[in-house]
Amino acid sequence: MKLDMPENFIQDIITEDLKEGKNGGKVQTRFPPEPNGYLHIGHAKSICLNFGLAEANGGLCNLRFDDTNPTKEDIEYVESIKEDVRWLGFDWDDRCYYASDYFDRLYEFAIQLIKAGKAYVCDLSPQEIKEYRGTLTEPGKESPYRNRSVEENLDLFRRMRAGEFPDGSRTLRAKIDMASPNLNMRDPVLYRIVHAPHHRTGDKWCIYPMYDFAHPLSDALEQITHSICTLEFADHRPLYDWIIENVDFSDVGPIKPKQIEFARLNLSHTVMSKRKLRLLVERGYVSGWDDPRMPTIAGLRRRGYTPEAIRNFCERIGVARRNSVVDIAFLEHCVREDLNRRAPRIMAVLRPLRVVIDNYPEGQVEWLEAENNPENPDMGTRRVPFSKVLYIEREDFMEDPPKKFFRLAPGREVRLKNAYIIKCDRVVKDQRTGQVTELHCTYDPETKSGSPGAGRKVKVTIHWVSAAHAIEAEVRLYDHLFRSENPDELEDFIADLNPNSLERLTSCMVEPSITGASAGNRYQFLRQGYFCVDPDSSAGKLVFNRIVTLRDEWAKMAGSSDK
């Protein structure tokens, strides 16, 4: 996987380190997800960064599951995470690690700290620890258990491990500084007692290391040179460094990992926290983690996004320390750009309006040639059937058109893509509702595409499908999940859900060349957007997801003031 990483401040740091000969010229990164939820596009940014930086600097990136909290993690998530990282196009070879694989060594490191008088077993309850911690503006108080002897600490810690004490009754704490202005340094908990089975280590442990202890040491064990994480961990860096400096792991290697923080990705019109995404899934606001409206990798994949588009997006948004909200329009731009080059064109009528070509011979069928992708002639051509009765898009006809409407109207002409110019002669309406039910048109036989007479200009070209040959399909149209640009800052983000984020059209008509399409296939429906075959499709019925619309000048005009 080759990423064209633009320069960023982390690359600057790496470049500087390399110049100074740090770490023997080695660059080693890691992507460390906690298996407690599905990956989303924010993780994609981190994945691209970690794998990209490693690759750009001749190094490697490990996949490491940060699974130190058995009560929140599950094997289901590790499988989905692996699938998503792989799908994005990254390869960790045989370097898939688990913090839980290090539990034995981490335990030894803890013993080491105890022996050095730098950690102690504390009997304070969770509530007491909180009270002793102090506040943002006042220093904390030292635990009465802070100065136990090394022997007693060793004994107690071994018994913690042996399961002699109930959950919450004791912890192992680092002995640092209860008066530190950085709360993370006020004797942070290193180990807690949790009598819960772990998805990988089973019942072997009843004490589990905290992130602040496990993470720097896992990095050390893997000899990570640059440990990249998000901004909220900046306050933890002094603790990260304290662990690295106070634990002796020189037998594993000389590299002392350094933590570097960057701003996580926020996307407009969606939420990114696992908690909120889980809520959407659990309360049924979406169909699942892979609902095509979700910003999860699984959701984007099902929607039809390509890994290339997502990677390109991640590379182009930049890496900085400033909190920001990237406009989702930029993500959409990235897929359009990718799909414009790759997606074959086909004609599909989403909201059919029947058109009868009065002067076209009954029963005649012409198979007309159509380009598969004007951007790429190598993609070849196909034949589409033309006959007397067609469907066109309801939106492509207006009985009383406004000034800028160039499409079909009584007495007006349009070109049918790859076919003929037709003229609208008569409008048939439902007597009761007044709804237009059918158009009668005449075609100009001289204007067949490719023929000498085809040069005649009309204002616009529309798509169509032969009624007798059309394949009926369901099409799901998606819009932003939330109405607000930044639902995250709302008191009640659920109330901001876009009621129109999904529209299902069940009687769409697609040209017959679609026959045989399978889940995951992507197409451009001419003039409408990019669509992807959904796994819900069955032999009898295709289901499409709209990935993204095409840019639409007319929609912009129509959407504004005078329609």
Partner RNA sequence: UGGGGCGUAGCCAAGCGGAAAGGCAAGGGACUUUGGAUCCCUGAUUCGUAGGUUCGAAUCCUACCGCCCCAGCCA
User: Of 184, 387, 498, 537, which lies in the binding site for RNA, with binding defined by CB under 7 A?
Assistant: 184
Q: 252 to 281, contacts with RNA by CB under 7 A?
A: 263, 268
User: Of 86, 159, 316, 563, which lies in the binding site for RNA, with binding defined by CB under 7 A?
Assistant: 316
| Contact flag: residue 167 with RNA (CB under 7 A) | yes
Q: 496 to 555, contacts with RNA by CB under 7 A?
A: 524, 526-527, 550-554
User: Of 56, 96, 154, 189, which lies in the binding site for RNA, with binding defined by CB under 7 A?
Assistant: 189
Q: Of the listed 22, 72, 105, 264, which one is catalytic? A: 264
Q: 201 to 230, contacts with RNA by CB under 7 A?
A: 208, 210-212, 214-215
| Contact flag: residue 320 with RNA (CB under 7 A) | yes
Q: Is 397 exposed, middle or buried (0-12, 13-18, 19+ CB in 10 A)?
A: buried
DSSP string, 8-41: -HHHHHHHHHHHTTGGGG--EEEE---SSS--BH
Whole-angstrom Cα distance, residue 301 to residue 314? 15
DSSP letter (8 states) at residue 251: T
| Contact flag: residue 170 with RNA (CB under 7 A) | yes
Q: Of the listed 175, 274, 311, 522, which one is catalytic? A: 274
C-alpha dihedral, 112 to 118 to 120 to 122, nearest 10°: -140
Radius of gyration of the chain (CA): 31
Q: Copy the structure tokens of residue 482.
A: 């939330």
Q: 384 to 423, contacts with RNA by CB under 7 A?
A: 404-407, 415, 417-418
Mapping DSSP to helix (H, G, I), strand (E, B) and coil, where does residue 104 land?
A: helix
User: Of 17, 55, 66, 315, which lies in the binding site for RNA, with binding defined by CB under 7 A?
Assistant: 66
Residue 437 half-sphere exposure, CB side, CA atoms within 13 Å? 7
Nearer to RNA, 234 or 471 (CB): 234
| Contact flag: residue 7 with RNA (CB under 7 A) | yes
Beta bridge partners of 408: 397
Tokens 């998000």 label which residue?
230
Nearer to RNA, 260 or 280 (CB): 260
CB of 249 to RNA, least distance (A): 19
| Contact flag: residue 135 with RNA (CB under 7 A) | yes
Q: 424 to 463, contacts with RNA by CB under 7 A?
A: 447-450, 454, 457, 460-463
User: Of 28, 29, 46, 68, which lies in the binding site for RNA, with binding defined by CB under 7 A?
Assistant: 68
Q: 70 to 99, contacts with RNA by CB under 7 A?
A: 72
Q: Catalytic: 264?
A: yes
Mapping DSSP to helix (H, G, I), strand (E, B) and coil, where does residue 558 land?
A: helix
DSSP letter (8 states) at residue 489: G
User: Of 86, 321, 426, 541, which lies in the binding site for RNA, with binding defined by CB under 7 A?
Assistant: 321
Whole-angstrom Cα distance, residue 256 to residue 244? 7
